[in-house]
Amino acid sequence: MTTLQAHLAYKMGERYGKHPDDGHYPGKLIIVEGIDGSGKSTQIDLLQKWLNSRNLVTVFTEWNSSPIVRRTTKRGKVEEMLTPMSFSLVHAADFANRVHAQILPALRAGAVVLADRYVYTAFARDSARGVDRDWLRRIYSFAVQPSLALYFRTPLDVSIQRINSGREELGYYESGQDMGFSNDREESFRIFQGRLLDEYDAMTEEFGMTVIDATQPIAVQQQLVRQYVDPLINGAMSGGNQSVPEALGQAGLSGRYITPPMRRRPTETEVSDL
């Protein structure tokens, strides 16, 4: 298949995992996944600090963070008006914006992109809500595969214990109450998280995610994370004698979240010359 044919196949609705640009960007995409309470956010934060200490340019991105979609998502949650399909589409729009505004520019520049949740979050959560799995893999076909996908596997009881000790109250959608699993929010959360575990375990084989036992001590997990990441970062974008923010700026990127450069308003002379 030629490059043109590959791009046409992708645009015609190819499944996720067959993007023609997979593996062709100079940067590296490292993602973490896991159910609530798995400790994945702690691990990716420690990883970013380690990479920055080696003067490597990193860009962090997280689930449900696009400024374009955030207001819609928040309103839908507050008013409890999101169906499983509309919830799925809102998150797909959020993710598409982050891919094209944050992730791809950083990968093209050669940076290490660290993502707290990736497409597998949508595959797990939406499937657990009854959305068709094949449809989900097609709707996210625009996303490139990560260089490394780490799945922090956590037993359900451990996850529940961590969540109960760290949060005051579970959210309506977070607990899966929109699905009518149970009128009791904690019981609904347990059922929903159990479904997510089943989806993640199935995806581990489907997408070749690297499994880390998230019941191990935090330091032990981080050592494993660094062992998996270290071989990938040869030739990664370095800040040189610059700070990381300076290096990001030199590459046309900015900040913890990548934002497009501000457009300069043309002068009256420039306008008249058009």
Longest dimension (CA), the chain: 68
Say if residue 227 is exposed, middle or buried (CB neighbours under 10 Å; 0-12, 13-18, 19+). exposed
| 29, 195 contact by CB (below 8 A) | no
Domains of the chain: 25-259 (3.40.50.300)
Q: What is the percentage of the chain residues whose pLDDT exceeds 70?
A: 82
For residue 248, what pLDDT band results from cuts at 50, 70 and 90?
Answer: low
pLDDT at 3 over 60: no
The C-alpha atoms of residue 172 and residue 184 are separated, in whole angstroms, by: 11
Q: What pLDDT score was predicted for residue 242?
A: 62
Least confident residue range of 169-183, 197-211, 253-267:
253-267
What is the pLDDT of the chain when averaged over all its residues?
83
| Strand residues in the chain grouped as ranges (E) | 28-33, 58-62, 112-116, 148-153, 210-213
- Within a 13 Å sphere around the CA of 265, how many CA atoms are in the beta-carbon half? 1
For residue 261, what pLDDT band results from cuts at 50, 70 and 90?
Answer: very low
For residue 273, what pLDDT band results from cuts at 50, 70 and 90?
Answer: very low
Q: What pLDDT score was predicted for residue 162?
A: 87
Which tokens hold the place of 50? 């380690």
Report the SS3 class of residue 262. Answer: coil
pLDDT tens digit string along 134-177? 999 999 999 999 999 999 999 999 988 888 777 767 888 888 88
pLDDT at 6 over 70: no
